[in-house]
Amino acid sequence: MGIEVVEHRGNKYPKFQTDGNSARFCLPFAKEVCKGTGFDIGYSKEEWKFPGAIGIEPSITPEFHATNLPTLQVDYIFSAHCLEHTFNWVDCLDYWATKIRSGGVLFLYLPDYSQTYWRPYSNRKHIHSFTPAIIKDYLEQSGLYKNIFVSGVDAYNSFTAFCERI
């Protein structure tokens, strides 16, 4: 049977990276820290949305998107493989902070630069590339968050970052 793989620029990756629903790989961790009322920004399909979250997906809720959220403060924002599609990711994260109540959680699951197909010059749907160090530096330097946790890269060539809004 074997492991199905895909190749890009001479690198092999598990085929499951092409199936979508990246959130499935970080959900166990997100469920531990994302409690109460929150947004799932960029979930793509209803069945992929964070359980119980208010979904923000332009193809499903065209009145809202990553930089135009409903006018309420939430306990968390969960977003998996969305930030790389936003025009200005720093402005986007700064804006999201205004929607998270003090003590609330920002939870990100992001594609890592190590996956060559996800780089903006290979995948034109992606505008940005990330590494754990870049996101950790932003979260620390922004002055908006505390209790910052950033993982290493997993088998989905992605990483998790989560923190608490000051």
For residue 162, give the nearest of 118, 83, 85, 107 by alpha carbon. Answer: 107
Domains, the chain, in order of start with CATH, read: 22-165 (3.40.50.150)
Distance, CA of 35 to CA of 16 (rounded, Å): 28
Its pTM stands at 0.97
Residue 135 burial (C-beta neighbours within 10 Å; 0-12, 13-18, 19+): buried
User: pLDDT of the chain along its 166 residues, tens only?
Assistant: 899 999 999 999 999 999 999 999 999 999 999 999 999 999 999 999 999 999 999 999 999 999 999 999 999 999 999 999 999 999 999 999 999 999 999 999 999 999 999 999 999 999 999 999 999 999 999 999 999 999 999 999 999 999 999 9
What is the 3-state secondary structure of the chain? CCCCEEEECCEEEEHHHHCCCHHHHCHHHHHHHCCCCEEEECCCCHHHCCCCCEEECCCCCCCCECCECCCCCEEEEEEECCHHHCCCHHHHHHHHHHHEEEEEEEEEEEEECCCHHHCCCCCCCCCCCECHHHHHHHHHHHCCEEEEEECCCCCCCEEEEEEEEC
